[in-house]
Amino acid sequence: MNDNSCIIRGGTVVCADRVLPDHDVVVVDGRIAAIEPVGACDFDVQPDAALGALPVVDARGAYVTPGLIDIHSDYVENVASPRPSVVMDLNTSLYKADRELVSHGITTIFHSLSVYGARVFDHKPIRDFGNVSALIDRVAAMRGGEERDHLIRHRLHMRVELDSVDLYDDIERYLRSGKVDLVSFMDHTPGQGQYRDLLVFGETIKGYRDVTDEEVREIIRQQQESAKLSYAQIAKLADVACERGVSIASHDDDSAEKLAFMDGLQATISEFPISLDIAREARARGMHAVAGAPNVMLGRSHSGNLSAREAVAAGAIDVLCSDYYPAALLDAVFALRDACGLDIAEAFALVTVNPAKAAGIADEVGSLAVGKRADVLLVREISCGVTDEAPADSVGARGSQGAAGAVGERTMPTVTRAFVGGHSVFRSHYPDQPLGYGRDADEARAFGGAPATSAFYPGAVEVR
């Protein structure tokens, strides 16, 4: 019996454009072989001659969804550098991140590592180019052990700040190496982009460093006068990325002119457009527009820019990323459902099939469809044990009446099982889960204690 084959039984299957209640997802040799109503698939009637009877996973009461795809995450920096002056062992840090990310339902991560000329906001040594280079090499090396030595799929998003003039040759070398999967071009110069408001820039700086107003003004002057990559250099790097099949992203777009410039470089992604009009312009150009899931949870941008909830509701944002907070990715899906009335399939598309399309990997992952790699989650809404009235602006957990502010039990979306390439890589056990919801007892029995070979699903021999 292969350990990457099973039947995920009886859940609410979230496809790219619809929801299928009471359906089975059949996984054979790490790929999705069928999606059928409960008990209707051929594997129930006549077990495969080579595989025998497939193990059964009880998904009743759960959403069965694709694994989440996060195309912009700084999280590994926090794991590798938990204090400003500390850099932990990088291999260990990636393994620790592996375990944390899968618990939040992220099955493909694009580690977003920054190449800077000047480090303005902090002095973390993890952002020294030597450490960035070492992380790039280690992330690339993890691919050889995918679906064997690691829980999830690790990819590399190189973030190129335009002041990294002295590192141009290194950036080009990495783009040619095959170790980079996504490249974004960033310009955090104060007075434009994310920091077009200099007061916001100053307050942000003060959140990182103990500086005076005079020192802030000097930082602004230095940044505005610093050398930047030329148009010819940016265009050359974009050409190399296109040759190597590396997706290109713009960052903090603040004008139609900038979008036109990046579109001309064959950029397909606009990360964090700063206004609704710019996000709409990006979508009109056929670009994927990305917002942060923490923005959804907060109900606003932490730097005073675009509201992700408003932009998603307007159809101007089609991808969410975790940015700096992995837990927000799944929570944002349910926040958009509860606070904005978004259809659950549409909400999940923001963190699954749409980012897969943006990154050029949708042929393999990102949706539950026959032939795709079986990166699958079971997501349940677990009781938070809270029965008081929820605050009116609360999101991420909901009352029993289905909306923030309702009186009654509140729930939290929780990953209880995760599969990558059909391999069971994660499960969580909550004490009050009924039998068959992921507790140890379901190793032997399912569906209310009935033996795993019950007539309800003939041929099943095991619940994993």
| pLDDT tens for each residue of the chain, 464 residues long | 468 999 999 999 999 999 999 999 999 999 999 999 997 876 654 555 555 678 999 999 999 999 999 999 999 999 999 887 789 999 999 999 999 999 999 999 999 998 986 665 566 788 889 999 999 999 999 998 999 999 999 999 999 988 888 999 999 999 999 999 999 998 866 655 566 555 666 666 666 667 777 766 766 666 655 678 999 999 999 999 999 999 999 998 989 999 999 999 999 999 999 999 999 999 999 999 999 999 999 987 766 678 999 999 999 999 999 999 999 999 999 999 999 999 999 999 999 999 999 999 999 999 999 999 999 999 999 887 665 554 545 455 554 334 444 455 678 999 999 999 999 999 997 765 554 444 433 433 334 333 333 323 333 333 33
Check whether domain 6-61+372-380+413-451 has CATH 2.30.40.10, yes or no:
yes
Q: If you ran DSSP here, which 8-state letter would residue 146 be given?
A: T
Q: How far is CA 152 from CA 69, 234, 429, in A?
A: 10, 32, 20
Q: Which amino acid is at 391?
A: P
Instruction: Find the DSSP H helices in 178-249.
Output: 198-208, 213-225, 231-243
Nearest to 154 by CA among 101, 111, 93, 105: 111
Nearest to 53 by CA among 454, 455, 461, 464: 461
φ, ψ of residue 383 in degrees (nearest 5) = -60, 135
Q: Where in the chain is the domain with CATH 3.20.20.140?
A: 68-189+226-359
Helix (H) or strand (E) holding 19: strand 19-28
Q: Where in the chain is the domain with CATH 2.30.40.10?
A: 6-61+372-380+413-451
Q: Are 146 and 210 in contact (CB under 8 A)?
A: no
CATH fold for the domain made of 68-189+226-359: TIM Barrel (3.20.20)
Determine the 3-state secondary structure of 171 from DSSP. Answer: helix
